[in-house]
Structure 1
């Protein structure tokens, strides 16, 4: 250990959303808080979130919109510090914002996520939080107090809070530090995987998908029992877009997903069109429900009920039996695909899994077996939906710890 030793009431490692939030709430209680960050700047993920506008919470945040091996764990923190508490802080700092869709609250203006970071720094300054960047951790030890040894000296405190997040976006400095600490102190970790991540497909699927790269459609994407109605986007490697990102958090390797390409159309929609316009080309009618490129691709992939040796895209809709047209609609409304993987942590917005919540207090985020050790934010096995939910978990879990550290 380094010879110099500074004493604090609370040390927090990781100056992201959760760490900053916990720090100023602890500081408000008169605690002497040290916040250590290994990057040159704090709030790296805040700055890039929402395209620089920071989707800082969601009006509909509730426990059932979070994934965890222990689905009840997040209830306490989310109920005691809600999206409305966060919104009050935003308004206190006069940060203008707007609701985009589905309750998603964004800051208003280009690069406005900087205002969120400034708000957190101002609150930390008012609470006398000592923030130090470019501090890399050599080791953590514990006897009656915690000792954190860094490249620039050692620090001692009664409590230690780990707010270093998980593996997503390694270019921003993401590491598995939280899980190293968990392992050191015998705290179990639920297996981690990328969440809110684009899905990739084998060449056999990409043969028809690649020509659609850049095409988007309003769909319902299903993975397991979860379903999401938003946009899907074709990429050169597979599928992305909000609906697919949402489904990805529930998908496991080897499983299939289902896409409803026509969420607003009933199964007999094509049959009804045939009676109205029997001479219209099938592709033309399909393109009334979706883009022409997507309609062509789906028709080409459809095999049941088509005329032998004919291309359905250039056939009059009147040439098809109602049963065949209903079959085609059913195929489009329950289109099954089996991804072969995902884009990984480099493209994932979040991580599913993390520090086992059964080892933590749901009221305080303290490790049950290691008094004084806390885990908050993304490092914990609580993962929110797309749309501000993961920021809300950072705020709520940070607040919970901040009341006691």
Structure 2
């Protein structure tokens, strides 16, 4: 079976390399020529534990990369993994989705299966089905649940596989079950459902996890005022299996490419259906002001920050990744710089340091001796 993967960002590259490791012939497609060249030479374009080694093992064998959609002509299955960024109003911008689909049309010469991995608002797969009406292609919604820093592990051993169909008796269902045969053999749950339910599962999952983070962060403010130990509170809460231990680490807010964007998008989807989402709106608001609350504590303690040197330890939005998008550490750096502070930043992931160095003049060494102030920012 031949497979194409459109988009080679975090989701697409993991998908392409992961499917190649299953033995499929995989072609990754990306408009970025420099990225394609790097990948074809075996150089991984992002940091994920184990991904680089697996890429080198398969590239040039059953895995290749190109900028041409023509390569999809012979593909049986096409995974759509392009970005769905947030526009200025908080809505999901689907321009890359529609661009990819429009370019794909020219090469649909035989029956194909388009599997949408990108996070898209509820109803999007239905729209894509209408756009491709008349073409010999079936659409499947297959949202990803990868954790950056654990993405390869999550792909190879997912907690569940969600598949949304227009018709659950479609040929696509059999095709996807063959592709994911490794998962059925591991008794990993498969959720077979509709487009709309599949799309909502993704948003509901991310919004709920974000809500847990905002809840413990808001609670940390009360703990700060009352001398309660928020770590002990969170630990004790987590021992209740109805609550669970994960996502109860108080900090200065969630970040990354998913939670902030998906929470805001879900709010907009509520509003477009004339529903006021009170809990999710509060989740978003708490997250936005958490970094400001922490920064005010710094200002109140030191008064004048001008000329003081701060070491910020942790630049990516979470451990074990190089992704700086919506990073609370970067937001803190910007607030400090605006007050005239001098910054020394470090992250133990080299690519995260390199990415940050492109944005700011940061100290790239591992040593932070002799500086005036230390801010520990490790989630």
Q: TM-score by structure 2 length?
A: 0.28
User: So what's the TM-score if we normalise by structure 1?
Assistant: 0.27
Task: Tell me which protein shows more helix as a share of its residues.
Answer: 2
Larger strand share, 1 or 2:
1
Higher relative contact order (CA 8 A, sep 6+): 1
Structure number with bigger Rg: 1
